[in-house]
Amino acid sequence: MVLKVLVLCLLCSAFADVLAALPASVLATEAQGCCNALDNELHRVIRPGTQYDAANVRWSVTAMLHPTCIAQPTDTAEVAQAVKILTAAACPFAVKSGGHTPTPGANDINHGVTVDLRYINQTTLSADRGSVTLGVGSTWLNAYTNLNDTGVAFPGGRYGLVGVGGITLGGGLSFFSPKVGWVADNVVEFEVVLASGEVVNASSASHSDLFRALKGGSGNFGIVTRVEIRTFVSDGRVWGGSVAYPCTDNTTGLVLSAVNNFTTNNHLDQDAAFNSNFIYNTTTGTKEIANTLFYAKDVADRPIFNEAQSIQPQLANTAASTTIVELAADTASLPYGYRYLGATVTFKNTLKALTTAQRITDAVFQTVSNVTDLQFTFVYEPIPRLYTQHSLAQGGNVLGLDDTVEDLISAFASWAGQMEEAMSSIGAYERFTYLNYAASSQNPLASYGDANVRFLEHVATRYDPEGVFQTLVPGGFKISKVG
């Protein structure tokens, strides 16, 4: 049985004014012609001025660059027209869904055009209520709110202000992952604008190679404008929240045991989801642990959570009857306007591996503990074998997890090198690097395995023979750079 745990480690620094001191934009003369052409074809093209700064905001200040203009297409036809113009003029551009990726260049650009999809944000429930179609410029909170009280639910992001597009194309973890698997594996169809400007619908029945490639292959093939996702019956009520503890040697040991046992047993109760957050703050000098508990039905105190809920002392316990909308709206722990950095590593779910990860992470924190206004967060994220079982049942993806035989854990931060070395030394390292948590220095596409890399290269060549999304769209993780 494959049990994985994904650990996310995040550095958050309050240097929000660093880029604000720069000029409002850095105009690139060679991009002005592109912006002028877009002006003639699109309803909304924003240049430096009163609307520019608001349109160019990102979750992390590290991702904010200065495009020559920001194109905001209002429908798929305008996206296609924009791509034709940018490709013909060989104008560098970036694509933004929600703008939550902190890596510079992933959703913004200097001396070029940012294609901002925020107005492609519709939520449409199918007539048979079996699927929902989402514009990729929508946030998950917007999508959940639009379908609230409809009697159905669907897998999507857990942080409400994240965009639909990025999470889905990177695989996508959700509250419902133990129940239905990765977000990408629940996609029925992608609407995609290719480099030629052609619009295709990729599904298991049409453009099936592109369909599979998009389930983890990120923005290497075109601009995805809409995704159709399977729904399942739900009365809208769930149970969940956070249980917080002081971070001591005793509570740390108990929490790591809870992570280990939950990951091992998640297949016994697939409505349950769990992760564990270690939060160190240099401003307050505090260290806390917050376990996030979720149950897909409005049922409290499930046995699978007993271990985590019994840990004492507790600083707070917010677990209660709630809704996905309320959970996704709770974004206080990850506010806009800070500088975020992170990385991820995956390892087998053993208590020895967990304690090794904890030791390394604590040691790395000590090296930055003198930095003011710093929040150092790392998250243990279970990825049990059942995620892969759900994926295979729905046609598979390109994440490269099909042959895993251990439960794993993935970790997000600058300690990635030490983590990989240590996990390798105890036989716990797994190659999988979750793209949505990866640092710019990491190579998540390569972690999918040689066969999947060759497949992604083939699909990229077939649908983008000129390599537009490898060269004119320089940001993000490129299949051409896997090396």
Confidence check: pLDDT of 393 > 80: yes
Answer whether residue 137 is part of any domain: yes
Condensed to tens digits (0 to 9), the pLDDT of residues 210-237 reads 999 999 999 999 999 999 999 999 999 9
Pair 457, 398 in one domain: no
Identify the weakest region by mean pLDDT among 18-22, 84-88, 181-185: 18-22
CATH number of residue 108's parent domain: 3.30.43.10
Tokens of 469: 């999304």
Pair 256, 229 in one domain: no
Tokens of 207: 């453009």
Pair 198, 178 in one domain: yes
Which band of pLDDT confidence, cut at 50, 70 and 90, is reported for residue 16? Answer: very low
Pair 130, 164 in one domain: yes
Cis peptide before 474 (omega within 30 of 0): no
pLDDT at 414: 56
Q: Pairing between strand 113-116 and 93-96?
A: parallel
Structural domain boundaries, residue 43: 19-116
Pair 225, 269 in one domain: no
Answer whether residue 91 is part of any domain: yes
CATH number of residue 207's parent domain: 3.30.465.10
DSSP H helices in 42-150: 52-55, 76-88, 140-146
Nearest to 312 by CA among 255, 232, 230: 255
Condensed to tens digits (0 to 9), the pLDDT of residues 309-319 reads 999 999 999 99
Mean pLDDT of 421-440: 92
Pair 246, 384 in one domain: yes
Identify the weakest region by mean pLDDT among 35-44, 160-169, 325-334: 325-334
Of 116, 147, 163, the residue at which a domain comes to its end is 116
pLDDT at 17: 39
Condensed to tens digits (0 to 9), the pLDDT of residues 152-189 reads 999 999 999 999 999 999 999 999 999 999 999 999 99
**Collapsed DSSP state (helix, strand, coil) of residue 28:** coil
Answer whether residue 328 is part of any domain: no
pLDDT at 22: 36
pLDDT at 161: 92
**Collapsed DSSP state (helix, strand, coil) of residue 166:** helix
Confidence check: pLDDT of 53 > 90: yes
Which band of pLDDT confidence, cut at 50, 70 and 90, is reported for residue 38? Answer: very high
CATH number of residue 434's parent domain: 3.40.462
The total domain count for the chain is: 3
Answer whether residue 247 is part of any domain: yes
Pair 211, 249 in one domain: no
Pair 417, 465 in one domain: no
Confidence check: pLDDT of 18 > 50: no
Pair 230, 242 in one domain: no
Mean pLDDT of 4-9: 50
Of 81, 116, 151, the residue at which a domain comes to its end is 116
Pair 397, 253 in one domain: yes
